[in-house]
Amino acid sequence: MSRPYVALFCMLLAASPVAAAQPAECTKLNSTSQMARARGAVLIKHGDERYLLRLAKECDSVASARHLRIVTDGAEHLLCPQGSEVVSPSRRCAVTSVETIDAAEFERARLHRY
């Protein structure tokens, strides 16, 4: 690669959006935490933090349920980077990833819900 192309490539990398980060530790959700549904995902707002929970592909019906809970290793309202489940009255669904997102991304995903 010639130098102008290397410089252009580096500039494009610097301009690309930052990937969502996985939280480092578990978060204890409470009555002020808010949940919203998105396509194939669940959104959680907890204080100033916002999370996007991606669900297994066969779990679309869970994401559209009216009442949802987050459970990790039997502990209610505990959201962890790994091992969490979204529970509806009729089904449990594994969370495949938990991403920390910003307010703008949260609103975009929320507006594209079912």
- Tens digits of residue pLDDT in 19-68: 457 677 899 999 999 998 887 789 999 999 999 999 987 786 776 678 88
Task: Give residue-wise pLDDT tens across range 6-18.
Answer: 343 333 334 334 4
Beta bridge partners of 53: 42, 98
- What does the DSSP assignment read for 10-60? HHHHHHSPPPPBPPSS-EE--TT-EEEEETTEEEEEETTEEEEEEE-GGGH
Task: Give residue-wise pLDDT tens across range 86-100.
Answer: 998 888 899 999 999
* Confidence at residue 20, expressed as pLDDT on a 0 to 100 scale: 57
DSSP structural state of residue 68: -
Amino acid identity, position 40:
G
